[in-house]
Amino acid sequence: MANTRHPQRGRHARNTARQTRPRHAGPGNRRGRIIGSDARPTTRTTLLTQQVRRTALMAVLCAIMLAVVTAWRIMPATALATPAAAATTRAQTTSGLTLRAGENLTLAGHSFTATLLGSYGNTQISGDTVASIEVRGSTASNAWISRAIAEVNGSLAQDRRITVPAGQDEAGTLARITDAALLRKLAGALAAASGKPAAAANRSTIEPSLHLPLADGLYLIEDSQGLPMILGTTIGGRHLAGQRLGEATIKAKGVEVGKHLIVDGEAKDSGSLAVGATAHWRIGFTLPHDGDGTTTAGRLIDSPKGQRYMSGSFAATLNDGTDVTRLIDVYEEGQTVPASTVVPGDTPVIVPAGGFGARLDRLIAAHPSRAVTISVQTIVTRTDDGRHPQQINGDFRYWDGTSTVTPPTTERIVDVDTFGFTLRKSAQSESTRLLDGAGFTLQEATTGIWLNRDPASGAWTRISSEADAQTRLTGDTNDDGLVDGQDDAGDRGVIRYAGLAAGSYIVRETKAPAGFSANALALPRLIVTISEDGTVTFRGDGMASGLVSTQGEQAGTVRVANVENLLQLPATGGSMSWGAWLAVSGLLISCAAWAGVVGIGRRCRADVAEHGGYDDDEQDDDEQDDDEQDDDEYDDGRAERIACTFAAVTGCSSSPFHGRAASGAWHARIMRSRRRARHAPQARTVVRQHT
């Protein structure tokens, strides 16, 4: 170092530098004082002294740190902070409470009020959970809790009564109770007790869950539509060992049971079915919460009118498809649903006619708060008024260890209706003349399926073959296929169609009453449409649609007439009848035919005369005259047959073809003109050209 600072060599140079350089010391001189010839040894000593000092300083620091760590391990937790300080710190934490509805439900209609019972303090934490904690109430909350405890103690045996230990308050005593049933009773007593402190929160929602932002502590939660609960928030986000905090599923006062009629895969609140049809039903509800200090019993009672439960059709599933039918005890008409074995005070119930009953206790215990769907089938039976309502009642009860809570019974009614109409058969010429023995078939307009009615049950059976379709007779009130003294004389000429579902139907007359035309053109056909509200409309269809009328009839009644012949058929859009149209048409055809024959005859004679008459081989002689006379007689007979055929088709005894046609002159003239034309070869060619 000396040589570096003083490049001169030798002792003389070093002495000269020492004498001329000023002496100094202090922080600016890292080596301290510099002195003459022993500068190098003095520098080593200084460095060694500084190193010792540094080592000593580090040793002192390590000793202090070791002392602090040792003190941390042996010092009790309470020495770090007083209970008051811990309570103050945690009061600023707002973990809150989360309330949830059961599966497939919302909290719509529920209003929740939270009232603080006590705050947390003296927390002992073990890992991610809390090993122990103290709860301390305020003066007001402790007085409120004290009144609730006194109320509950009045219903408990001496050895089960709640006492407040020395050194603890009412809130802390309440927090140490682990009997869920007793806590449920205390919650009810707190909700009813006087002197309740101001609420910490009051919230509502229409969602499936609700979060209440509350400071950490123990609270009474009151539900406007459910049972009160005592709940604790998490402790700074932590749970107690073996117990989750800060969340709960509400226990509603009642269970809402829904029931729907399934039509073409769609759930409906009402509908229409025919008597004899199978009704498919879907019943849905969410099981009540269980295991929170209560045991729950539940049953369903189905009370139908005009329907009958199909034995063996009962099936139940959870939302995830799990079949839980085996957990439900099902009872049928006349059987008794026994009283619950888990809730005292329950009573047995007899299943009403046509219905079913179900005991749900085992299902609730196995799957609390889960949504359940039940499927059943019923057969629609005949009723006098066409009404077939389905009513189901859900009855659920809770036992809290000392008393039974009975919420209101849930009732659901689904309306099912059947409809009908009346057909009156009369003569077209005399509307008041009712006719027995006319036969009609009934067919679904949309599917083409024929419907047959069972006289005993009134049930309709769907038939796909027209050959098997039932023909019902007017006046045959007992549907035995005969109109006789066994029938109701007050329904002469009438068919009553009852127990039908809403829809469109084709009513077709297949058999005319005696004395009336059985021609297909004279047999009426009508479309009957029944709306969902039971309104019935009628519309005639086909050439005989004019025979269908509702004029002067009551609602739901149609008059269907018969004619003796086609000439009596009414028009379907004009003022002339079918008979008039046939007469006019026949007259026009006759005139046209007569004019054609006369014209052809004149042309034939003119052509023959123009070509010089007939050939010699074709001259008239006696044999030819005899042949023409035979032909004339044949033609006369043919004309008579034409007239008779027309009368048979139309049902008319007089026609425009009678008169001249009967004498054979009209038709014979045509035949003679044709024969004379054949006698002249040249005229025959002319005739062909003109025809």
| Mean pLDDT score, 631-644 | 55
Render pLDDT for 408-417 as a digit per residue (tens, 0 to 9). Answer: 888 999 999 9
Is the model's pLDDT at 680 over the cut of 60? no
Render pLDDT for 273-304 as a digit per residue (tens, 0 to 9). Answer: 999 999 999 999 999 887 667 789 999 999 99
- Between 25 and 198, where is the model more confident? 198
Q: Which of 400-409, 428-437, 519-528, 559-568 has the weakest average pLDDT?
A: 400-409
Q: Tokens 């050895």 — which residue?
A: 159
Alpha helices for 154-250 (secondary structure H): 170-175, 180-192
Beta strands across the sheet bearing 548-549:
494-500, 419-427, 557-562, 548-549
418, 500 in Cβ contact below 8 A? yes
| Mean pLDDT score, 369-382 | 96
DSSP assignment string, 600-669 = HHHHHHHHHHHTTS--GGG---HHHHHHHHHHHHHHHHHHHHHHHHHHHHHT-S--TTSSHHHHTHHHHH
Q: Do domains 257-417 and 419-568 have the same CATH topology?
A: yes
Q: How far is CA 581 from the centre of its chain?
A: 56
678, 607 in Cβ contact below 8 A? no
Domain ranges of the chain: 96-250, 257-417, 419-568
Return the CATH number of 419-568, one of 2.30.42.10, 2.60.40.10, 3.40.50.300, 3.40.50.11810: 2.60.40.10
**Tokens linked to 454:** 């069972």
Q: Is 463 exposed, middle or buried (0-12, 13-18, 19+ CB in 10 A)?
A: middle
Q: Tokens 């003294």 — which residue?
A: 485
Q: Residue 104 — very low, low, confident or very high, per pLDDT cuts 50/70/90?
A: confident
- Between 142 and 579, where is the model more confident? 142
Is the model's pLDDT at 386 over the cut of 70? yes
**Tokens linked to 639:** 């004309």
Question: For the chain, how long is the longest CA-to-CA vector?
Answer: 198
The class that CATH gives domain 257-417 is mainly beta
Is the model's pLDDT at 685 over the cut of 60? no
**Tokens linked to 630:** 């035979």
Give the pLDDT score at 617. Answer: 47
- What percent of the chain is predicted at pLDDT more than 90? 53
